[in-house]
Amino acid sequence: MTKKHKKTLCRILAAAVMLAVLSLVDTHRWLLFALHLIPYLTVGGDILLKAAKGVKNRQPTDECFLMAVATIGAFAVGLIRTGDFGEAVFVMLFYQTGELFQSIAVRKSRRSIGALLDIRPDYANIERDGVLERVDPYELAVGSEIVVQPGERIPIDGTVISGESALDTSALTGESIPREVQAGDTVISGCINLSGLLHVRTAKEFGDSTVSRILELAENAASLKSNPERFVARFARVYTPAVCIAALALAVLPPAVRHFCGLESMWAEWLYRALTFLVISCPCALVLGIPLTFFAGIGGCSRVGILVKGSSCIESLSRACCMAFDKTGTLTRGVFGVREVLPVQGVSARELLQTAAVCESSSSHPIAKALQKSAPAPIDRTEISEVTEKGGMGVSVLYRGKKYTAGSLRLMESMGVTVSAPPYSGAAVYIAADGEYMGRITLCDTLKPNAADAVAQLKRAGISKTVILTGDTEQAARSAADGAGIDEVCHSLLPEDKVEHILRLKRCAPKNRTVVFAGDGINDAPVLAAADVGLAMGALGSDAAVESADIVIMDDDLGKTAKALRISKKVMNIVRQNIVFAIGIKLGCLLLGAVGLAGMPLAVFADVGVMVLAVLNALRALNTKNV
Amino acid sequence: MKKSYKIEVDCPNCANKMERAAAATEGVKSAAVSFMTLRMTVEFENGADEKAVMAQVLKNCKKAESDCEIFF
């Protein structure tokens, strides 16, 4: 509670006590009126003042003005007819209590959501003459050496020069297992150093570092407004004046009609009903509940390592019907693995793998690395000599007295080696010993272990069509699609072809449904931008992806795509509940008020009570751990 | 040019009113107010003087909602 809150609370309590005492007093009507003015002004004085300011600035439909009119009107009704002034004071009291409660609730939720994004490092340590000195991270140039002590946050992206430690990346990725780092590894700002002292050479300025970019995104997230938010803003603009006009009509028309029909006109009764209307005319529950739900959803997403750029992105994602994937690095790990070993007769698979590893032992090409890894036995590199690269087509070496060659089919043909293997269009290495063909090893990118599960989850969450868009060959694309359970394959695409395919999918999608593209963002930024929702995976390091994507999944866990989809649906459900609930109760109370069944206390509930309930409902969106 | 400012405002509907008042100010192309983050994002017209425009934005906002503040 802030000072302002405490002051308001004191005023409310004082007024409540006075009101309770006054309810026991019975004296002359005018004296009673004057006495009631004391608690009324105590609790509602600022409202009256604000109302007057509103009138002066020609903004009369402000809620303070409405409350002022309603309560003054209630006093008037009391003076003319009932002699009961308690209600006017009570309404003001109830209203102020509700406002106070709402203000505290909003403050709390703003804090708890803000805490999720509280990853801003306040300082960086640099070593000067053996003494650690704290400096503003803004002041550090690229290439500075900083020291990160255990328990501190890494302030700027960079490379570890010395030291070993474990990093807590959970604020960025939602991943709870610490990441081990040592000299030479790159580290990302925002991670917490858990165990050892690290010396880091900065690679970026603070403003370009991951943590700054994430904070900037999060702070701007609210400016991309969704349809429901725009709807409630428009609704609020029409709603208040409409209810005020209805109130005026209610105060004038029925008594006038009764008067002309010769009945008792009951001015005071209808005036009271009209005043009830005014109390309900504030659209705050709606105007607060919907953006708060989105905000809580965005905060909840960031808690599990999903960065959302705006509430409109949540809305579009919730309407997704089709999801397209990039293959390499998204569905697959982006690392080659041995797919099939096909030796000729007389050569064992083990022998072929070993030979391939020997040939490729000095290369750093991804395929060579995969072959080195799959060597059945350790290689003694001193036995290898005369390594000759064959111009990007392969390599030949002298090993234990024999000349081995490993490379492409073209290399084999150019050497006059007869290859006896069925044609294959993917990545393959052919091996020959002294010009004699030994066999072939085919390689492919390995599917992420949870790819099939993630795709199945997406389908359960309402994605009806899944597509692979890849620049890779048909065979590689098909095997990935089969492994992950994806429906459609579009292969051998150039980046611009991928954009074409996204546009085609968008044309085919049913009305009001959207197309999502998930990619690693390294070379598919235009595709991310072309899709209704661009989802960048594991894109913490890639600027282009963070720029053009709508949603960034900070690690490369494919399962989070499904999680993001489920969260978006949950958030939209809460939004719909809040809209229906708030409008429903308000209209219901208006109706009851019009026929005289609901008094002002219920009207105040419809105003502030509904708002508080909407706030509590909205906060459910924060809980994303078990979605 | 787009800039984001910290604001102070009490109720969500008041935030909406500020948004409308800011957007209607001369020199402002578009304005968005987030009640939850208490931030106002203003996109200026080309060649607009930021300080002068923001002073006017604050004046207009005060007119629409007396109990507000913009920090610029």
Per-residue confidence (pLDDT) for residue A569, from 0 to 100: 95
A459 CA to chain B: closest CA distance, Å? 33
Q: Does B23 lie at the interface with A, CB-CB under 8 angstroms?
A: no
C-alpha closest to that of A104 among A169, A222, A12, A175: A12
What digits encode the pLDDT tens for the residues A415-456? 888 888 887 767 788 999 888 899 999 887 788 888 999 999
Per-residue confidence (pLDDT) for residue A322, from 0 to 100: 94
d(CA A439, CA A346): 10
d(CA B34, CA B9): 10
d(CA B33, CA A544): 27
**N residues, chain B:** 72
pLDDT of A209 above 90: no
Which DSSP symbol is given to A82? I
B32 CA to chain A: closest CA distance, Å? 6
pLDDT of A346 above 80: yes
List chain B residues with pLDDT less than 50. Answer: none
| Cβ contact A146:A158 at 8 Å | yes
For CATH 2.70.150.10, list the domain ranges present in chain A: 141-204
pLDDT band at A522 (very low <50, low <70, confident <90, very high): low
> What whole-number percentage of chain A has pLDDT above 70?
94
What digits encode the pLDDT tens for the residues A278-318? 888 777 777 778 888 888 888 888 878 888 888 889 999 99
Q: How do the residues of chain B divide into helix, strand and coil, expressed in percent and rounded to 5?
A: 40, 30, 30
Per-residue confidence (pLDDT) for residue A160, from 0 to 100: 92
- Any idea which fold A333-447 has? Calcium-transporting ATPase, cytoplasmic domain N (3.40.1110)
| Residue range A230-249: mean pLDDT, rounded | 84
Residues of A in contact with B36 (CB under 8 A): 109-110, 113, 222, 291-292, 295
Residues of A in contact with B13 (CB under 8 A): 63, 236, 282-284, 287-288
Q: Which of B18, B34, B42, B71 would best serve as a mutation to test chain A binding (most A beta carbons within 10 A)?
A: B34
Residues of A in contact with B11 (CB under 8 A): 63, 99, 102, 284, 288
d(CA A432, CA A435): 6
pLDDT band at A115 (very low <50, low <70, confident <90, very high): low
Burial class (CB in 10 A: 0-12, 13-18, 19+), A237: middle
Report the CATH number of the A141-204 domain: 2.70.150.10
Residues of A in contact with B35 (CB under 8 A): 106, 288, 291-292
β-pairing, A533-537 with A514-519?
A: parallel
For CATH 3.40.1110.10, list the domain ranges present in chain A: 333-447
Q: Which of A57, A101, A110, A223 would best serve as a mutation to test chain B binding (most B beta carbons within 10 A)?
A: A223
Q: Is A326 a catalytic residue?
A: yes
From residue B70, give the alpha-carbon distance in Å to each of A62, A204, A300, B29, B41: 20, 32, 28, 18, 11
Interface contacts (A, B; CB < 8 Å): 67
pLDDT of A573 above 90: yes
What digits encode the pLDDT tens for the residues A387-408? 888 767 888 888 888 889 998 8
A115 CA to chain B: closest CA distance, Å? 12
Per-residue confidence (pLDDT) for residue A489, from 0 to 100: 93
What sections of A377-423 are H helices per DSSP? 409-414
pLDDT band at A131 (very low <50, low <70, confident <90, very high): confident
Which DSSP symbol is given to A221? G
pLDDT of A486 above 80: yes
B49 CA to chain A: closest CA distance, Å? 22
d(CA A232, CA A222): 15
Per-residue confidence (pLDDT) for residue A574, from 0 to 100: 94
pLDDT band at A540 (very low <50, low <70, confident <90, very high): low
Per-residue confidence (pLDDT) for residue A117, from 0 to 100: 63
d(CA A144, CA A126): 8
Per-residue confidence (pLDDT) for residue A539, from 0 to 100: 57
Per-residue confidence (pLDDT) for residue A141, from 0 to 100: 86
3-state secondary structure of A356: helix
B67 CA to chain A: closest CA distance, Å? 8
pLDDT of A357 above 60: yes
Beta-carbon contacts of A558 under 8 Å, excluding residues fewer than 6 positions away, are A330, A331, A448, A450, A451, A454, A537
Question: Quick one: tokens of A29?
Answer: 């009507």
What single string gives the DSSP state of each residue in A329-397?
Answer: IIIEEEEEEEEEEEEPTT--HHHHHHHHHHHTTT--SHHHHHHHHT-SS---GGGEEEEEE-TTSEEEE
Give Cα A568 to chain centroid, integer Å.
9
pTM, 2 dp: 0.75
| Residue range A567-577: mean pLDDT, rounded | 94
Q: Does B56 lie at the interface with A, CB-CB under 8 angstroms?
A: no
| Residue range A499-524: mean pLDDT, rounded | 88
d(CA A501, CA A524): 13
- Which helix (H) or strand (E) is A193 found in, with range? strand A192-193
What digits encode the pLDDT tens for the residues A26-64? 778 888 888 888 888 888 888 888 888 877 777 665 677
Higher pLDDT: A561 or A521? It is: A561
Residues of A in contact with B17 (CB under 8 A): 59, 62
Residues of B in contact with A223 (CB under 8 A): 32, 34, 41
Q: Do A63 and B39 touch (CB under 8 A)?
A: no
Q: Does B64 lie at the interface with A, CB-CB under 8 angstroms?
A: yes
Q: Does B32 lie at the interface with A, CB-CB under 8 angstroms?
A: yes
Per-residue confidence (pLDDT) for residue A90, from 0 to 100: 84
| Cβ contact B42:B31 at 8 Å | yes
Higher pLDDT: A319 or A118? It is: A319
Which DSSP symbol is given to A512? T
Nearest CB among B34, B41, B66 relative to A50 is that of B66
Q: Which of B9, B10, B13 would best serve as a mutation to test chain A binding (most A beta carbons within 10 A)?
A: B13
Per-residue confidence (pLDDT) for residue A460, from 0 to 100: 93
Per-residue confidence (pLDDT) for residue A314, from 0 to 100: 92
| Residue range A375-391: mean pLDDT, rounded | 82
Which DSSP symbol is given to B66? S
**Class of domain B2-71 (CATH, top level):** alpha beta
| Cβ contact B7:B57 at 8 Å | no
- b (16+ CB within 10 A) / e for A64-96: bbbbbbbbbbbbebbeeeeebbbbbbbbbbbbb
β-pairing, A402-407 with A394-399?
A: antiparallel
Beta-carbon contacts of A437 under 8 Å, excluding residues fewer than 6 positions away, are A344, A412, A417, A418, A419, A420, A430, A431
The residue in chain A having the minimum alpha-carbon distance to the alpha carbon of residue B21 is A59
| Cβ contact A305:A554 at 8 Å | yes
Per-residue confidence (pLDDT) for residue A218, from 0 to 100: 65
Average pLDDT, chain A: 84
Question: Quick one: tokens of A276?
Answer: 């009830």
Per-residue confidence (pLDDT) for residue A220, from 0 to 100: 65
Chain A contacts to B (CB-CB under 8 A): 50, 53-54, 57, 59, 62-63, 99, 102-103, 106, 109-110, 113-114, 219-223, 225, 233, 236, 282-284, 287-288, 291-292, 295
Q: Do A63 and B64 touch (CB under 8 A)?
A: no
Q: Do B12 and A284 touch (CB under 8 A)?
A: yes
The residue in chain A having the minimum alpha-carbon distance to the alpha carbon of residue B3 is A220
pLDDT of A545 above 80: no
